[in-house]
């Protein structure tokens, strides 16, 4: 088709203006996304800056995202506080034990459930029993009463056992194993392997990526949980870190300035900020892994035909 010179020119204009619009869109888009990103890290940077500032500027709310009169004294004070150290220890302990229990049970249960009901009679019953309690729970009071009646109050087991089987994770692992090619297992059976052998030598090594995802899910869950500590522990010495932080933030912490008084550049605000930031550190350290595996996990768990 032949075009006149004039039409050619208008076309040229249209393309040029479209390119401009495209560039404008790109600029606005980058700006918007950069703002969204900044908004998400702002609170973290702010709390870090306050924790590294001197008492004066912090109390006057002059700290935004950069420390004013930089000092490590708040951290020195925090790490000399017995309740903080103890609760940090409780959190580490529950996280290590909890993650181990969650991962082991999830890996163990995912394999049998990945079988068909034909191969494993009773498989569907297991699934229904699990899904039912995933969707219907007895609620706070009966669960608390049970833990109390089992004499688990004030023990680490109260924090680990009620959530020992993360049912959603079990389903995730089950679906992952279902996607593995059946042939490898068949070959192993011909060689005389038992189910147990198959699980240990084939399924477990192949499930590493999904197990890693579960480990991280459960790590975040255990590290961040605070509510069970609050209800199942009568003694504040047994509080996990997040429960302890809850009492600090809600100003129920009567000992807030005790030995911290010997640090000149520390006040309630910087001390609280240093404790809050310390509570995030394990999450921040794991963050590169969290991001990678959580993305896989959520995609695996959500978009399943």
Partner 1 sequence: MNGARMSKTWQLHLMMVPGMLLVFLFLYGPLPGLVLAFKDFIPSKGIFGSEWIGLETFRYMIELPDSYQIFWNTLYIAVLKIIFNFPFPILVAILLNEVRRAVFKRTVQTLIYLPHFLSWVILSGIFIDLFSQSGIINQFLGLFGVKPIYFMGDTHYFIKMLIATDVWKNFGYSTIIYLAAITGIDESLYESAVMDGANRFKQIVHITLPGLAPVILLVLTLSLGSILDAGFDQVFNLYNPLVYSRADIIDTYVYRLAFTDANYSLGTAIGLLKSVVGFILIVIGYRLAKRYSDYSIF
Which residues, 180 to 219, sit near partner 1 by CB under 8 A?
189-190, 194-196, 199
Residue 102: CA atoms inside 13 Å, Cβ hemisphere, count?
28
CA dihedral sign of residues 25, 26, 31, 34: positive
Both tokens assigned to 170: 């079990």
* Residue of 7, 16, 146, 179 interacting with partner 1 (CB under 8 A): 146
Contact 260, 84 (CB under 8 A): no
The least CB distance from residue 169 to partner 1, in Å, is 11
Q: Does residue 115 belong to the site contacting partner 1 (CB under 8 A)?
A: yes
Site for partner 1 in 38-67 (CB under 8 A): 38-41, 43-44, 46-47, 50, 61, 63-64
How far is CA 244 from each of CA 52, 143, 181, 208, 271, rounded to the nearest angstrom? 21, 22, 47, 34, 14
184: left (phi over 0), alpha (psi -120 to 50) or beta: alpha
Contact 58, 272 (CB under 8 A): no
Of residues 57 and 76, the one with the C-beta less far from partner 1: 57
* Residue of 7, 34, 100, 187 interacting with partner 1 (CB under 8 A): 34
Q: Does residue 304 belong to the site contacting partner 1 (CB under 8 A)?
A: yes
Q: Does residue 245 belong to the site contacting partner 1 (CB under 8 A)?
A: yes
Q: Does residue 174 belong to the site contacting partner 1 (CB under 8 A)?
A: yes
Q: Does residue 140 belong to the site contacting partner 1 (CB under 8 A)?
A: yes
Of residues 226 and 262, the one with the C-beta less far from partner 1: 226
Site for partner 1 in 118-137 (CB under 8 A): 119-122, 126-127, 129-131, 133, 135-137
Of residues 86 and 294, the one with the C-beta less far from partner 1: 294
* Interior/surface letters 142-177, b for 16+ CB within 10 angstroms, e for the rest: eebeebeeeebbeebbbbbbbbebbbebbbbbbbbb
Diameter of the chain measured on Cα atoms = 91
65 class by beta-carbon count within 10 Å (0-12 exposed, 13-18 middle, 19+ buried): middle
* Residue of 164, 179, 261, 264 interacting with partner 1 (CB under 8 A): 164
The least CB distance from residue 155 to partner 1, in Å, is 14
Q: Does residue 36 belong to the site contacting partner 1 (CB under 8 A)?
A: yes
| Chain mean position to CA 238 | 22
Of the candidates 100, 219, 240, 215, which has an alpha carbon nearest to the alpha carbon of residue 159?
A: 240
CB atoms < 10 A from the CB of 53, how many? 25
Site string for partner 1, 73-102 (x = CB under 8 A): ------------------------------
Of residues 133 and 262, the one with the C-beta less far from partner 1: 133
Site for partner 1 in 255-294 (CB under 8 A): 269, 272-273, 276, 279-280, 283, 287, 290-291, 294
The least CB distance from residue 56 to partner 1, in Å, is 15
* Residue of 52, 77, 210, 248 interacting with partner 1 (CB under 8 A): 248
């Amino acid at each position: 088709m032949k075009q006149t010179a004039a039409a050619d020119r208008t076309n040229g204009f249209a393309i040029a203006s479209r390119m401009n619009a495209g560039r404008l869109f790109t600029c606005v888009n980058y700006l918007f996304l950069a703002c969204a990103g900044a908004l998400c890290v702002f609170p973290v940077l702010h709390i870090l800056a306050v924790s590294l500032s001197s008492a004066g500027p912090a109390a006057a709310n002059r700290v935004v995202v950069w420390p004013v009169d930089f000092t490590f004294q708040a951290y020195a004070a925090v790490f000399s506080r017995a309740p903080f150290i103890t609760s940090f220890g409780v959190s580490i302990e529950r996280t290590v034990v909890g993650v181990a229990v969650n991962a082991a049970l999830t890996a163990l249960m995912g394999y049998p459930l990945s079988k068909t009901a034909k191969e494993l009679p009773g498989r569907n019953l297991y699934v229904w029993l699990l899904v039912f309690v995933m969707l219907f729970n007895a609620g706070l009071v009966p669960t608390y009463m049970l833990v109390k009646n089992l004499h688990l109050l004030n023990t680490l087991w109260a924090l680990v056992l009620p959530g020992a089987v993360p049912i959603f994770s079990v389903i995730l692992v089950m679906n992952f194993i279902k996607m593995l090619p059946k042939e490898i297992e068949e070959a192993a059976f011909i060689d005389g392997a038992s189910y147990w052998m198959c699980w240990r030598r084939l399924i477990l090594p192949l499930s590493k990526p999904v197990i890693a995802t579960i480990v991280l899910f459960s790590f975040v869950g255990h590290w961040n949980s605070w509510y069970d500590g609050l209800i199942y522990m009568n003694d504040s010495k047994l509080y996990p870190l997040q429960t302890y932080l809850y009492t600090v933030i809600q100003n129920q912490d009567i000992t807030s300035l005790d030995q911290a008084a010997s640090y000149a550049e520390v006040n309630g605000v910087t001390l609280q900020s240093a404790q809050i930031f310390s509570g995030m550190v394990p999450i921040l350290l794991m963050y590169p892994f969290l991001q990678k595996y959580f993305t896989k996990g959520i995609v695996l768990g959500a978009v399943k035909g």
